[in-house]
Amino acid sequence: MTYADSINQTLHQILDTIPESVLIGQGVTSPWYVGSTTTGLIDTFGSDRVIDTPVSESAVTGSAAGMALAGMRPIVMHPRMDFMLLAMDPIVNQIANWREMFGGERGMPLVMWVIVNRGGEQGAQHSQALHAMLAHVPGLKVVAPSSPANMAGVLYSAVLDEDPVVIIDDRWLYSMVGDVDLNLFRWPIGQAEVLRRGVDVTIIASSWLTLMADHAIHKSGRVLELIDLVSLSPLDEKTILNSVARTRNALILDGGWRSCGFAAEVAAVIAESDYDVTVRRLTLPDLPAPAARSLEKKYYHSIDSILEAVTWFEV
């Protein structure tokens, strides 16, 4: 099953088995916006459960917050992460703070499904991965799946969670194929996955970079360990530290910018431990994304750039 189909099948089952669930957002009935991920949903569940909205990120997100407080479990789809910035007031000032402001007695069971669209000569305003910004906000849970299986599991877990969950979804993963449990299994939010066991270097990645790292490991000739973070907040520090305690080398891959980025947070977690670990990070440069295809090839990570980063370590 493809990554995109895993989203579609999971959404079908969520809407079918959780009567409080609602899908709302721009283009939730449009293949141009979200590919095949929402195909057939409105035909099965109707426009009361699958709500295609006007272009107003703030209004849509604020409305979903009201739905959550009224007992529903909305999934808000933002087809471009860049434009979710227009909804930062309800997200940061209201949604993230609600449970704490009411002493933990009122939940905010709201999922924000946010799609990153990189490449394709889309330019700087349509290519930004802002996961570090969201993971910085207390009260938000932030996940970045990398496979059809953990996307399906995370989506189901997020809908049942009493706290707001942001799912960072990357369009570059949509054609990826993998096995998926269609029995609505739950992936624990806050739990990483060790995809490969190794002894030389621990590679720490999330989302599409996990897939790229896996391909790089096949070509590296070294015995490398690969951790798929899955969850960015809360971060599974235990799994990270258990791994680097053995390998003593950590390469952190991040699809965001370098300065104040998420890779720096993971590096700080390792640096503050009691282990003597060599830490390096591979991030995007502190530059807006280019539009020219020739420049995109230099700007974004590749299997070759990951292989080169592995050579930074003497093992």
Confirm if 154 and 189 have CB atoms less than 8 A apart. Answer: yes
Can 126 be counted among the known catalytic residues? yes
Confirm if 178 and 287 have CB atoms less than 8 A apart. Answer: no
Residue 226: its H or E element: strand 224-228
Confirm if 122 and 133 have CB atoms less than 8 A apart. Answer: no
Measured in whole angstroms, the distance separating CA 223 from the mean position of its chain's CA atoms is 27
Q: Tokens for 199?
A: 């002894």
Q: Tokens for 40?
A: 């057939």
Selected catalytic residue, list 78, 126, 131, 301: 126
Sequence-separated contacts (24+) of 40-44 with Cβ below 8 Å: 40/8, 40/12, 41/8, 41/11, 41/12, 41/15, 44/12, 44/15, 44/16
Q: Tokens for 191?
A: 């739990």
Residue with tokens 């998420």: 262
**C-alpha span between 200 and 193 (Å, rounded):** 18
Question: Is the bond preceding 234 in cis, omega lying within 30 degrees of 0?
Answer: yes
- According to DSSP, the residues that pair with 188 across neighbouring strands are none
**C-alpha span between 62 and 40 (Å, rounded):** 26
Confirm if 177 and 1 have CB atoms less than 8 A apart. Answer: yes
Task: Indicate which residues carry an active-site annotation.
Answer: 126
